[in-house]
Amino acid sequence: QWHFVESGGGLVQPGGSLTLSCRASGFSLRYYGIGWFRQVPGREHEGVSCVFANSGGSTHYGKFVEGRFATSRDSAQNTVYLRMDNLKAEDTAMYYCAVADCSQLTPQNPGSWGQGTQVVVSS
């Protein structure tokens, strides 16, 4: 069973930065595409980013990212990161990580989410 713990969220001003962490347990995430997704109340989960399995770091991002975010994998720490720069108010959401189809930027197991980490962008 895939199990993740997300952390690193918080309150940040517009234009600020955050780095989210997604630590996996029970399996080695290097063999899987790992995506970040976000959700605001009343809306579906939205694909943010994905790092391909065994890829040497190949990534895929949602169109709204526009070069502001960067995802990476540290296999030794069994952790995937999401560095977010130039944050906007519309980036406010709960952020989750999950095993994903990186080409489609969709989760492999929709409906099965961890506790997430909240990001609030506000002045």
Report pLDDT digits (tens) over 59-117.
999 999 999 999 999 999 999 999 999 999 999 999 999 999 999 999 998 878 999 99
Rounded CA gap, 118 and 45, in Å? 14
Rounded CA gap, 84 and 53, in Å? 21
Handedness of CA 69, 13, 45, 76 (dihedral sign): positive
* pLDDT tens by residue, 1-20: 789 999 999 999 999 999 99
Q: Any idea of the CA torsion for 92, 40, 110, 51, to the nearest 10 degrees?
A: -10
Residue 57 has pLDDT above 90, yes or no: no
Rounded CA gap, 108 and 37, in Å? 12
Tokens of residue 4, six digits = 């993740």
The alpha-helical segments, DSSP class H, found in the chain are none
Q: What is the pLDDT of residue 112?
A: 84
